[in-house]
Amino acid sequence: MTSFSESWPIRVYYEDTDHGGVVYYANYLKFMERARSEFLRCAGLELDTIEAEFGVMFAVRQANVSYHAPARFNEMLNVESALVEMRGARIAFKQQIYRQSDGLLLTEGDIQLACISRDGSVSRIPKAVTERLQSHLNQPEESSS
C-alpha cells in the first residue's frame, strides 16, 4: 500500500489544557481523531455518509501513544496522519503531532480502527470506501494543510 500523509492544523485552546496551561494527555487523542476525520474528508469520504450508505462505522480498536514534549495554551500544532494499512475490517494510521513554531515532535500514535456494523459486530470495509481511499493514496502528493 502506498502511504499518503495529510496535515491538519490545530490551535491549543484553554479548554484543552490543565491548570498549568499544558495540554491534557487525553486531548492529543481528540486532536488525532479530528485529523483522521479530515483525512477521510480530503479523500472525499464523510463518516456520516459511510454510516448512512453502508451501515458501518469506524471504532478505535487500539491506540498506542508516545508523549515526547508538552504542547501549551495557544500554540499552533500540525497533526500528520498517514494511512499505513487497510485490509479486511482494519484501517491503521500513524499520526504525529508537531509544534508549528519549531517543528518539534510532541506526540505520536499508532491507531488501529475496526470497521463495525451498527450492532457492533465486525464488518469488512465496504469496497467503495477502500477504492476511494486507494484512489486518494495513489494521487501525486501535494502540500496539504
Which of helix, strand or coil describes residue 124? coil
Cα–Cα distance measured from residue 114 to residue 111, given in angstroms and rounded to the nearest whole number: 10
Q: Which residues of 77-94 are buried (b: 16+ CB within 10 A; e: fewer)?
A: bbbbbebbebeebbbbbb
- Is 18 an annotated catalytic residue? yes
Please identify which residue in the block is written with the cell numbers 493514496.
Answer: 137
Catalytic residue among 16, 18, 48, 110: 18
- Smallest Cα–Cα separation from 90: which of 66, 110, 67? 110
Is residue 137 classed exposed, middle or buried when 0-12, 13-18 and 19+ CB atoms within 10 A define those classes?
middle
DSSP letter, residue 141 = P
Residues belonging to the active site: 18
